[in-house]
Amino acid sequence: MQSSRAHWWFIGPALFLMVLILLMPIGIAGVMSFTNYSLGNPGADWVGLANYEKVFTRSTYQKMFGATFRYVFVVVPLSVGLGLGAALLINSTRRFGDFYKTIYFLPVMAALIAMAIVWEFALHPTIGIVNSTLEQGCGSVLESWSWFAQGCDRGFPLWLTDRDYAIWTVAFIGVWQGFGFNMVLYLAGLTSVPRELYQAAEMDGAKFAWERFRLVTWPMLGPTTVFVVTISFIRSFQVFDTVEAFYPQGGGPSKSVYVMMFAIYEKAIQQNLMGIGAAITVVFLVFVMFLTLAQRWLVEKRVHYS
């Protein structure tokens, strides 16, 4: 009995597009990463693992890894935590809920390049509103904080040009821009939590809000958390617009904000070193895949599916 092949007419176009749009570019980048290919040259020499050796041994790329992971491991937990907190507060608010949703979601809708320009003015060392506000606090009770007292005596940091603060400043902007998106996802997840579970938990002795959150809300938000954390990891690894807007000529002071996406752009586009750019791309994809699978495995072990 011959099996029907009609199903291939349904899944064939999707498989073809997946190979053409997703798998083929990855394969081409993988092959190109073993060459010294550059646009405009008629051919390319096979260099083997030389590009990968540069990526893992040269100090510039070590700074790239450091900046990328510092950014990711600051932005992801803070944006997820703030998104969950904002969602819980708005969900419990009886009035102005839609207003708060709009305010928190505005950074997500705004063009990040335009917002980067606004932040560049706000963080300016002399005319920026951030340092001006901090200077007005000098002489107050805040001077009991040693860092604040030092700022009053010596001047507050050059947020975007000081290598000790640049990556944390960019990470703060990433949190500001991303937590509103996570808030909307958590709000959608909260609508699927049955009210009966809260009533049952209260009857069992969960009188306080923290106990109801720990016993009911957090377990029921498990699937949403898996999705939010995964998306946050991917979005954080893809940071580029802010870095390019602040530091178009390089990765910030002493390469302290030299994230992987900017390194790919610099090597492959600006310097036309397609081979090394492809090698960084492959490493980037491997890191994203590994971290995504690892965090999904860790989070899904504690997920409660209703």
Domain borders along the chain are: 45-123+159-300
Predicted confidence at residue 147, as pLDDT, reads 67
Residue 303 has pLDDT above 60, yes or no: no
Q: Please answer whether residues 278 and 27 qualify as being in contact, where contact means their C-beta atoms are separated by less than 8 angstroms.
A: no
The answer on pLDDT for 1 being more than 50 is no
Q: Which residues fall within 8 angstroms of residue 46, CB to CB, at 6 or more apart?
A: 34, 35
Neighbouring CB atoms inside 10 A of 192's CB total 11
Give the mean pLDDT of the chain.
84
Domain 45-123+159-300 maps to which CATH number in 1.10.3470.10, 1.10.3720.10, 1.10.10.10, 1.10.8.100? 1.10.3720.10
Let me know: does 171 contact 79? Beta carbons within 8 Å: no
The arithmetic mean of pLDDT across residues 289-302, rounded, is: 73
Q: Compute the radius of gyration of the chain from its Cα atoms.
A: 24
Range with the poorest average pLDDT among 60-64, 171-175, 223-227, 273-277? 223-227
**% of the chain at pLDDT higher than 70:** 92
pLDDT tens figures, 144-190: 667 666 777 677 778 888 888 899 999 999 999 889 999 999 999 98
Between 21 and 303, the higher pLDDT residue = 21
Mean pLDDT of 24-28: 91
Question: Is pLDDT larger for residue 302 or for residue 207?
Answer: 207
Sign of CA dihedral 35, 260, 66, 123: positive
| pLDDT bracket for residue 3 (50, 70, 90) | low
306 confidence band (pLDDT: 50, 70, 90): very low
